[in-house]
Amino acid sequence: MSWQSRMVGFHLRFLLKPWLARLDDPGRFAGDVDALSLLLRRPPFLRRVSRPDGLTWISAGKTRRDAVILYFHGGAYVAGSPEGYAGPLGNLSRLSGIEVCAPRYRLATEAPFPAAYRDAVRAWRRLRRLGYRPENIVIGGDSAGGGLALALLSRLCCRGAPPRAAFAFSPWTDLALTGRSLYENREADVMLPVGRMEEVVELYLGDAPRRDPRASPLYGRFPGCPPILLQYGEDEILRDDSRRMADRLRGFGATVTEDALPDVPHVWQLMDGWLPEARASLERTAAFVQGSFEATSR
C-alpha cells in the first residue's frame, strides 16, 4: 500500500464513512457527491461536450474515430453525473486513445427501477444510430454503474450482439445482498457503511425482485460473452460481488481478468493524480481496451 493510499484511507474511514452512515436520507446527498467530484484531477486539454440526448462525450488527447467507450457512472443509483466524472474519464480516454461516452441515466430519486436500465439501453441504441457497430464499443462502469454496464451486457449477449469488451470497477452486481464480504469486510472497508445498503436497495428497487438481472447482473445470462476485466479491492464490502460475477461469466465461457488489490478504497481508479494505484489500474484498463481491438485486427 502506498503512503498516499494510507492517507486517503484514513480520511475516508474517519470522515466520509461516518458521514454516509448517519445520513438521514441516502437520496438527498447527490449534490454533495457532485461537490466532492471537484477534487478529482483532470488531465490537460480535457474536452467535454454534453448533448441534449443525455450523452456526454469526454476525451483528452488524440483519439481514434472508429471506437468508443460507453461508461456508466457510480453513485448507488442515487447520486453521480457524467460531468462529475469528467476528470477520471478524461484520463481513461487519454491513456486508451478512445473517446468516452457517459450517459446521464435517471436516478432513483427521479424515477425508480427499471428507469436507469432503460436509459442504459437507450444510450446503446443511440450509439448504434450514430454508426457505431457493437464491435466498435467497449462497455464500462463503476460501482452501481458497473452493475448497470453488466446488466446491459447480459441483454446484448442474449440478443447475439455483444460489445467488443467490457470492464467494471468494483461493480455492485447483487442487490439481493447475499455476498459474504458485506459482513466479512464491514470493518475493513474504509468507505462504504454496510448498514445503509438495505435502505439504498429499497429506494432504488421498491417492490421489484432483487434478483432481477436488470438490477442484479449476477443472476443474468451471458452467452457469447466478450472479454471482461474486473477490478476490485480485497477489503471492500462489494468484493464478493466481483468474485462471484467473475465465476458467473466464466460459466458462460467468457475470458475474465480479475485485478484484486489489497488496501485500496472503493473505486480507487477515480483518484488518479492522488493515488499511484489509481494510475496503474487505469493504465491496465487502457491496455485491456486497446488489446481487445488489436486481438481481432491481427
Model confidence pLDDT, tens digit, residues 155-169: 999 999 999 999 999
Q: How many CB atoms lie within 10 A of CB 20?
A: 17
Q: CA-CA distance, 187 to 194, in Å (whole number)?
A: 9
**pLDDT of amino acid 26:** 63
Residue 298 confidence (pLDDT): 46
Q: Which of 5, 170, 236, 281 is catalytic?
A: 236
Domain boundaries, the chain: 3-294
11 is an active site residue = no
Tell me the C-alpha distance between 241 and 218, whole Å: 8
Q: Which helix (H) or strand (E) holds 94?
A: helix 86-96
3-state secondary structure of 101: strand
CA within 13 Å, CB half, 34: 10
Q: Indicate if 143 belongs to the active site.
A: yes
- Nearest-CA neighbor of 170 among 69, 240, 100, 102? 240
Judged by phi (left if over 0) then psi (alpha if -120 to 50, else beta), residue 171 lies in beta
| Strand 228-233 relative to strand 165-169, pairing | parallel
**Rg from Cα positions in the chain:** 17
Q: What is the pLDDT of residues 179-229, one digit of tens each?
A: 999 999 999 999 999 999 999 999 999 999 999 999 999 999 999 999 999
> If DSSP states are collapsed to H, E and C, what string results for 46-81?
EEEEECCCCEEEEEECCCEEEEEEEEECCCCCCCCC
Determine which one of 59, 143, 216, 242 is catalytic: 143
* Residue that is written with C-alpha cell 461469466 in the block: 249
With cell 457493437, the residue in question is: 134
Query: Which residue in 96, 266, 277, 292 is the catalytic one?
Result: 266
The residues that bridge with 258 in the sheet, in sequence order, are 230
| Contact criterion met (CB below 8 Å) for 144 and 175 | no
Specify whether domain 3-294 bears CATH 3.40.50.1820.
yes
Q: Give me the pLDDT at residue 122, please.
A: 97
Question: What's the pLDDT tens digit per position in 240-281?
Answer: 999 999 999 999 999 999 999 999 999 999 998 888 899 999
Q: Is the pLDDT of residue 32 over 70?
A: no
pLDDT tens figures, 59-118 = 998 999 899 999 999 999 998 889 889 999 999 999 999 999 999 999 998 899 999 999
Grid coordinates of 33? 457527491
Residue 5 is predicted with a pLDDT of 84
Cα dist from 227 to 96, 101, 221, 273, whole Å = 16, 20, 15, 28
- Alpha carbon separation from 90 to 93, 150, 187 (Å, rounded): 5, 22, 33
The pLDDT of residue 297 is above 60: no
pLDDT for 258 equals 98
- Return the number of other C-beta atoms located less than 10 Å from residue 39's C-beta: 11
